[in-house]
Every structure is written in structure tokens, then in C-alpha cells.
Amino acid sequence: MVADIHGSIWNAYHSDVWPNRYLIDQEGDMVFHVEGEGNNRPMEEKIRALLVAAHPDVTQLPLDPPEDTFAASCGVCTDETYVGD
């Protein structure tokens, strides 16, 4: 991970939210952008679309199941970690 202590990447992409994820293709062009948390599946689908020309078998790999951002991902929910009502 690269530290952007002067905000040069943040400013170059006109970021105004955190986190931001950018997908850059082999030509150096930004081809996909996700703001905020979650939305992993669309990013994964775009990565696969870019890879399919060089690796057609990538379409045979199963996608991760849809995410539930607020579901417990490991362990047991406690009152301290429960995000709900």
C-alpha cells in the first residue's frame, strides 16, 4: 500500500469520499470506480471482463456469493458489534 501523505492521488482523481477503489487497465486508463464500502461484486465482474481475453477460463470460476455488508463475517455477534435496529 502506498501512503499518499500529500493527497496527490486523492486530488488527481477528485476524490471526495472514502474509501475509493479504482480499476486501472493495462493501458493505464481508469475503467471502473467504486465509492464507499461494499460493491465488491461489480468490481470482480469488471476484473473478470478485462481478464477474459487473455484467460478465457476465468469465466468458469464461480463468483463470490452476494455480500451482506452488515452481516457478521466471522465469529459470533455481540452487543458491541451488532449493527442493526
What pLDDT digit, counting tens, does each position of 1-19 carry?
A: 667 788 888 888 888 888 8
Asked if residues 66 and 41 have their Cβ atoms less than 8 Å apart, the reply is yes
**What secondary structure does DSSP assign to 25-74, as a single string?**
-TTS-EEEEEESS--HHHHHHHHHHHHTTT-GGGGGSPPPPPP-TTS--S
Provide the residue count of the chain. 85
Amino acid code (one letter) for 65: P
Q: Tell me, which fold does domain 1-85 have in CATH?
A: Glutaredoxin (3.40.30)
Could you report the per-residue pLDDT of 18-66, keeping only the tens digit for each? 888 999 998 999 999 998 887 888 999 999 999 998 899 988 888 877 7
Reported pTM: 0.63
Cell output for 1: 500500500
pLDDT of res. 68: 66
